[in-house]
Amino acid sequence: MFKNKNGTLNNISGKNISRIRKLISPTMSQRALADRLQLCGIDVDKNAIQRIECGKRFVTDIELVAIAEVLGVTVLELLSHEELPVNNPQ
């Protein structure tokens, strides 16, 4: 398995995924996000979402695109180091 030598995080999108998930209205739980991703064909569970958000799990490009779609944001917003405004995905 690949060992990350650039620090302790295995992704830079986890913090943004967590922040955006909590900011959208109504708030989406980790389980709800996992369930919505499974409907998109992405095989993740609540524990995988938890590991992504705390930076312990790598995120594939396919997963990142699906997460952005479910949260109603762009992939760039998930990868940004700035806190960009969040649109409600209604």
Look up tokens 């991703």; give the residue. Answer: 37
- Supply 52's token pair: 């992504």
What is the model's pLDDT at position 89?
Answer: 45
Query: Is residue 86 very low, low, confident or very high in pLDDT (cuts 50, 70, 90)?
Result: low
Q: Which positions ≥6 away from 25 have C-beta within 8 Å?
A: 88
Q: What is the pLDDT of residues 2-41, one digit of tens each?
A: 565 556 789 999 999 999 999 998 999 999 999 999 999 9
Cβ atoms < 10 Å from Cβ of 80? 14
